[in-house]
Amino acid sequence: MNAKQKMRHILDVIADMFPDAHCELNHSNPFELTIAVLLSAQCTDETVNKVTASLFQKYKRPEHYLDVPLEELEQDIRRIGLFRSKASNIQKLCRIVIDKYDGEVPASHEGLTELPGVGRKTANVVMSNAFGVPAIAVDTHVDRVSKRLGVAKPDDTVLEVEKKLMKLVPREEWTLTHHRLIFFGRYHCKAQSPQCQICPLLELCKEGKQRMKPGNKTKNKGIKPKIASRG
């Protein structure tokens, strides 16, 4: 099995496990998605959605974020990790969006990555989900799963992982693959307690096979065979 055949097998298995994989950040337009992804750095989507439920009611447009003192915005997102720096970046981002892009989030990767707090991953998420441009955003789940399954090397950078996935996955499947790899990592191949003993891809995972060796204290015990919890 060559690299592309291996990737095809992985994609097909994960597609069967998570056929409904999708972006779990609640949003109604590209601007809201940009803010949500910015907030999601080092924070769970679940927490972000709780915060944005009220945040997006209060702030509809970029200018609304600039109509309040920075301290007020900080309090509005206080439950989010790194809320002070994120609040500052949001206001800086909104100023640029208003001054340079007439109040609309730029629909280009280059324009997005110029915005404060927006890196390559955020730009990829916005481009693929808001503007329909195929992209693979490599977050902690995609990075972990790709390395565990041998698609990427353990010491590969995030950019190297992204480039390898782009080479192995058909372009028209990039966005969906991004979502499915996230679901696989978030609900099945977890960082601390991966469900190795019921994993259909165990044979491709050196770490998983090591975990499952008799007598290994890290071996999972008592995990019932469920694929995902949407909680």
Percent of all residues in the chain with a pLDDT value above 90, rounded to a whole number: 88
What pLDDT is recorded for position 229? 33
Give the Cα separation of 168 and 120 in Å (integer). 20
Rama region for 115: left / alpha / beta (φ>0; ψ in -120 to 50; rest): beta
Q: Tell me the mean pLDDT in the region 59-66.
A: 97
Q: Which two tokens stand for residue 14?
A: 């994960």
Within-domain flag for 156 = yes
The angle subtended at Cα 42 by Cα 96 and Cα 48, nearest 5°, is 70
Asked, for residue 227, whether it belongs to a domain, the answer is: no
- Catalytically active residues, by annotation: 121, 139
CB 126 within 8 A of CB 34: yes
Q: Is 199 labelled as part of a ligand binding site?
A: yes
231 burial (CB, 10 Å; 0-12 / 13-18 / 19+) is exposed
- Looking at the domain assignment, is residue 217 inside a domain? no
> Among 117, 129, 113, which residue's Cα sits nearest to residue 24?
129
Number of domains in the chain: 1
**Could you tell me the CATH number of the domain that includes residue 98?**
1.10.340.30
Please tell me whether 94 is known to bind a ligand: no
Q: How confident is the model at residue 220 (pLDDT cuts 50, 70, 90)?
A: very low
Q: With respect to residue 55, please indicate whether it lies within any of the assigned structural domains.
A: yes
State mean pLDDT over 137-151: 95
Q: Which domain holds residue 183?
A: 1-193
Per-chain mean pLDDT for the chain = 91
Residue 9 in any domain: the answer is yes
**pLDDT in the model for residue 214:** 83
Q: Which residues contact 202 (CB under 8 A, 6 or more apart)?
A: 196, 208, 209, 212
HSE toward the beta carbon, residue 50, CA cutoff 13 A: 9
Classify residue 220: in a domain, yes or no. Answer: no
User: pTM of the entire structure?
Assistant: 0.85
> Rg for the chain (alpha carbons), in Å?
19
Q: Is 196 known as a binding-site position? A: yes
The CA distance from 36 to 25, in Å, is 7
**What are the tens digits of pLDDT across the range 181-218?**
999 999 999 999 999 999 999 999 999 999 888 877 65
199 occurs within a structural domain: no
pLDDT at residue 231, as a whole number? 30
Q: Do the domain assignments include residue 214?
A: no
